[in-house]
Amino acid sequence: MPTPEMSLTLTPEHIMIRDAARDFAQNEIAPKAAHFDETGEFPSETIKKMGAQGYMGLEIPEEYGGAGLDTLAYVLALEEISKADAAHGTIMSVNNSLFCHAIYKWGTEAQKQKFLKPVASGQKIGAYSLTEPMSGSDAGNMKSRAVREGAGYVIDGRKSWVTSAPVADFVMLFTMTAPEKKHKGISAFLIETTQPGFSRGKKEPKLGIRASATSEIVFEGYQCPAENRLGEEGEGFKIAMGVLDAGRIGIASQALGIAEAAYDASLEYAKQREAFGQKIGEFQGIQWKIADMKTRIEASRLLIYDAALAKMASKHTGERYTLKASMAKLFASETAMFCAHQAVQIHGGMGYSKELPVERYFRDAKITEIYEGTSEIQRMVIARQELGLR
């Protein structure tokens, strides 16, 4: 049984999974990343291929359409996919660690058959919807409502910043069933986007991860059968938060992939580019940047693998891995931003040009400090855990 104390050395199987993901990402995704960034097109074809390879439901057992691997395999694969293109990383992360993970953990057998199987196998796409126009970090303070009527619920309201919403077949929705109970009045529902009463708002024009489609979603009298409620009434906030613990390990892995891509490009450039009669890598100013980037990348990797092992152990112990997930997400996302910033600086004018992917890494890195809990929220979660406040 894996425990958090287990060695962080990768097994030959994990190395094989990482190398296969690297080959796939570099051959199938990297050559198209600039095109998808430029056009903002959703990369349907490569996502389908990822589904066929098992990347859209990596930790889900094969009987429910997944690849049946573990969390360490998931973070290794996600790191490689994100190194090629962070937008593909976002789509993969939300599908795996938010949508599939939640249904596998809290879903009924019928929900697993109907919603998990097609999403884990990559035939359909799943989204996760918590945020509203007036509640982001303060996630429990939502205005949308699900009112019990007969054999189901009628849902009304508006949700925002929903990753994959423009293309999603299903959405995991968190909404209020008992507003007077505050966060204890939130419930989770599995939404079918083909049903009347559901519509999508305009696609968000984003700074980075532009190929990952994001939009508002709107509910107007959407009728949701009671069997599509995930968990019990009032359990929604705990599900949302528990799932975000897993999601944050995913975003940390995405951030690590971006940081590594920025670092690799910088290392190559420092070895080739000359100024004042020598390679720029021979200047101490560049060496210090290289040293800081490398050290932060390796520290992020250890935090992420450690959080992944804690999540694997929690399957057996039931213990939360909130602290480790938040520390990995905080450190890796700030490392991605740091490395992308240094990479642009090392490349000088070329770092600012769209001729190289470095400026894309810089734009893509920023979101990792914002979504699935800002750096400020991660610090709050970490400090509360340490102080025993929650």
Contact status: 322 vs ligand CAA (CB under 6 A):
yes
Contact status: 381 vs ligand CAA (CB under 6 A):
yes
Residue 205's contacts (CB-CB under 8 Å, 6 or more residues apart) are 40
Alpha carbon of 268 to those of 263, 274, 346: distances in Å? 9, 12, 11
Name the strand (E) or helix (H) holding 13: helix 12-24
In angstroms, the CA 152 to CA 311 distance is: 34
127, amino acid identity? A
Residues in a beta bridge with 145:
156, 176
Contact status: 315 vs ligand CAA (CB under 6 A):
no
Q: Is 173 within 8 Å of 103 (Cβ atoms)? A: no
CB of 73 or CB of 186, closer to ligand CAA = 186
**Selected binder of ligand CAA within 139, 146, 312, 337 (CB under 6 A):** 139
DSSP labels, 186-222: EEEEEEETTSTTEEEEEEP--SS-TTS-EEEEEEEEE
Write the secondary structure of 18-30 as one string of H (helix), E (strand) and C (coil).
HHHHHHHHHHHHH
What would the x/- binding string for ligand CAA be over residues 88 to 107, using CB under 6 A? Answer: ------x-------------
In angstroms, the CA 191 to CA 154 distance is: 12
Query: Is 372 considered catalytic here?
Result: yes
Least separation in angstroms between residue 282's CB and ligand CAA is: 41
Contact status: 372 vs ligand CAA (CB under 6 A):
yes
Contact status: 209 vs ligand CAA (CB under 6 A):
no
Provide the token pair at 380: 């709050």
Contact status: 143 vs ligand CAA (CB under 6 A):
no
Using DSSP bridges, classify how beta strands 198-203 and 214-225 pair: parallel, antiparallel or unpaired.
antiparallel
Contact status: 198 vs ligand CAA (CB under 6 A):
no
Q: Mark the segment that binds ligand CAA (CB under 6 A) among 7-15, 127-135, 287-295, 308-316.
A: 127-135
Within 43-144, strands assigned E span 126-129
CB of 202 or CB of 390, closer to ligand CAA = 390
In angstroms, the CA 133 to CA 367 distance is: 18
Contact status: 22 vs ligand CAA (CB under 6 A):
no
- DSSP classification of residue 373: S
CB of 180 or CB of 355, closer to ligand CAA = 180
Contact status: 255 vs ligand CAA (CB under 6 A):
no
Torsion from C-alpha of 358, 359, 360, 362, nearest 10 degrees: 90
Options 80, 132, 216, 372, the catalytic residue: 372
Least separation in angstroms between residue 381's CB and ligand CAA is: 5
Site residues for ligand CAA, 224-253, by CB under 6 A, read 237-238, 241-242, 244-245
Contact status: 163 vs ligand CAA (CB under 6 A):
yes
Provide the token pair at 277: 């009669």
Contact status: 373 vs ligand CAA (CB under 6 A):
yes
Contact status: 320 vs ligand CAA (CB under 6 A):
yes
Contact status: 212 vs ligand CAA (CB under 6 A):
no
CB of 83 or CB of 329, closer to ligand CAA = 329
CB of 345 or CB of 385, closer to ligand CAA = 385
Catalytic positions:
372
Residues in contact with ligand CAA by CB under 6 A are 94, 128, 130-131, 137, 139-140, 163, 183-184, 237-238, 241-242, 244-245, 320, 322, 371-373, 377, 381, 390
